[in-house]
Amino acid sequence: TRKVIVAGAQLGPINIDTPRSEGIRRMVKLMDDAHKAHAKLIVYPEIAPVTFFPRHILEGEELEKYFEREVGGDITKSPNLKPLFDKAREYKMDVSIGYAECTGDDHVHFNTCIYYSGQVDKVVSKYRKVHLPGTFEPYERKDATNQLEKRYFKPGNLGFEAFRAPELVPDTLTKTSGAQPNLPDTLGKGDPIVGMIICNDRRWPEAWRVYGLQGVELMLCGYNTTAWAPELLGTNKKISTQEKAKAEALFHNKLSLTYNSYANSCFSINVAKCGFEDGKYPLIGGSCIVDCDGEVVVEASTEEDELIVAEIDLGMCRRGKGKVFAFEKHRRVEHYGRIAEQ
Ligand code: CDT
């Protein structure tokens, strides 16, 4: 069997004046709930413990305070995040956390998430967001909502590397931990093959397909998606109201998650930070777990802190990977060259 109970920890608004410790306390509370629900994995949103600061113009200390730093090369010892890793270790739960990363030696900023296994007490993988949306310079209109990710982060430099999550599924058919993901020989065998993307990445089929080609069975995605940003998103509607824009943003979110889960025969756990941050910047919710047939298994019903939980069977991925999306049988790579050109 490849069944496992997994959870997504949707977070409601975290304001600019919310202390970091308060954000972390709310995240630990959701982990407590996940433990009670027997979850083996919990996924948190992008830049989870703080407000979505790239909407603000910041510099110096005002900017630096949002970033997390490893201690002795170890993120689990970072003072801000440590309570989460300690709890995950206690619960033997795996955890994926999004955070703003400042690297040790050269102080480079990335929009990052990591996968920590509470079962084996190890950081198994790190991913740095590749697709950074928005602008470098703020919009001229003073009341526009900015998305200054190109200003504050470098594009991720770790690629889209799938990894195996040690012991995440209790009884695997053949233990192949440590083996490189490799289809079709290891299809549905060994520890689950996991990928991580961050927010805007989910709109790009290329990101999913690079993971799909490594046999990904479970994709993890945290996001902060603004519900109203006409400068950033544009519109095709004659009259665009906040209500219509939000409905469209939720539609595009689900469209991206369901189609790409289907086309790569993988489950996905997709987790929002949502609601009105600082009372005036709306972020969409819509956290959901999607199965490998593209169907939503469970979806958040609020725009507050909310745990979504599902038992998923990764064995179901064999269907798509062996039939419609058996890449080795059906892909025609001789026609795909332009995908990787400028
Ligand atoms: N955080 C993040 O990447 N947000 C973007 C905003 C919209 S740009 C189309 C997103 O893709 O959700």
Give dist(CA 79, CA 83) in Å, integer. Answer: 8
The answer to whether residues 29 and 42 touch, using CB atoms and an 8 Å cutoff, is: no
Q: What is the mean pLDDT of the chain?
A: 94
Locate tokens 């603000």: which residue? 56
Give dist(CA 322, CA 73) in Å, integer. Answer: 40
Mean pLDDT, rounded, for 328-338? 97
Topology of 3-340 in CATH?
A: Nitrilase/N-carbamoyl-D-aminoacid amidohydrolase (3.60.110)
- According to the model, what pLDDT value does residue 175 have? 53
Residue 324: phi and psi, rounded to 5, are -60, -40
Cα 57 versus chain centre, distance:
24
Model confidence pLDDT, tens digit, residues 261-288? 999 999 999 999 999 999 999 999 999 9
Residue with the smallest CA separation from ligand 1 atom 4 is 225
Two tokens, residue 39? 């979850």
Give dist(CA 55, CA 98) in Å, integer. Answer: 17
Annotated catalytic residue, options 40, 129, 246, 321: 129
Q: How many degrees, rounded to 5, is the angle at CA 116 between CA 194 and CA 64? A: 110
Q: Is 225 exposed, middle or buried (0-12, 13-18, 19+ CB in 10 A)?
A: buried
Peptide bond into 184 cis (omega under 30): yes
Annotated catalytic residue, options 40, 46, 101, 126: 46
Two tokens, residue 2? 């490849």
Pick from 172, 29, 3: nearest CA to 91:
29
The residues, any chain, with a CB within 8 Å of residue 333's CB and separated by 6 or more, are none
Give dist(CA 299, CA 270) in Å, integer. Answer: 9
| Coil, strand or helix at 267 | strand
pLDDT higher than 80, residue 173: no
Model confidence pLDDT, tens digit, residues 69-126? 999 999 999 999 999 999 999 999 999 999 999 999 899 999 999 999 999 999 999 9
Residue with the smallest CA separation from ligand 1 atom 12 is 225
Residue with the smallest CA separation from ligand 1 atom 3 is 200
Would you list the domain boundaries of the chain?
Answer: 3-340
Ligand 1 within 6 A of 153 CB?
Answer: no
Ligand 1 within 6 A of 133 CB?
Answer: yes
Active site residue 199: yes
Q: Which amino acid is at 79?
A: P
Give dist(CA 332, CA 328) in Å, integer. Answer: 9
Mean pLDDT, rounded, for 62-67? 97
Element (H, E) at 249: helix 242-263
Rg of the Cα atoms in the chain: 19
DSSP state letter for 170: S
Give dist(CA 47, CA 30) in Å, integer. Answer: 16
pLDDT higher than 90, residue 1: no
Model confidence pLDDT, tens digit, residues 18-48? 999 999 999 999 999 999 999 999 999 999 9
Ligand 1 within 6 A of 224 CB?
Answer: yes
Ligand 1 within 6 A of 223 CB?
Answer: yes
Mean pLDDT, rounded, for 130-147? 95
Given pLDDT bands bounded at 50, 70 and 90, which one contains residue 179? very low
DSSP state letter for 24: H
Ligand 1 within 6 A of 200 CB?
Answer: yes
- According to the model, what pLDDT value does residue 101 have? 98
What's the maximum distance between 2 C-alpha atoms anywhere in the chain? 59
- According to the model, what pLDDT value does residue 171 have? 60
Ligand 1 within 6 A of 26 CB?
Answer: no
Which numbered atom of ligand 1 lies nearest the CA of 224? 1
Which among 147, 251, 287 is the best mutation to test ligand 1's pocket, defined by most ligand atoms within 8 Å of the CB? 147
Active site residue 46: yes
Model confidence pLDDT, tens digit, residues 185-234? 567 889 999 999 999 999 999 999 999 999 999 999 999 999 999 999 99
Element (H, E) at 96: strand 94-102
Which numbered atom of ligand 1 lies nearest the CA of 198? 3
Distance 129 CA to ligand 1 centre (A): 11
pLDDT higher than 80, residue 332: yes
Active site residue 189: no
- According to the model, what pLDDT value does residue 209 have? 98
Ligand 1 within 6 A of 195 CB?
Answer: no
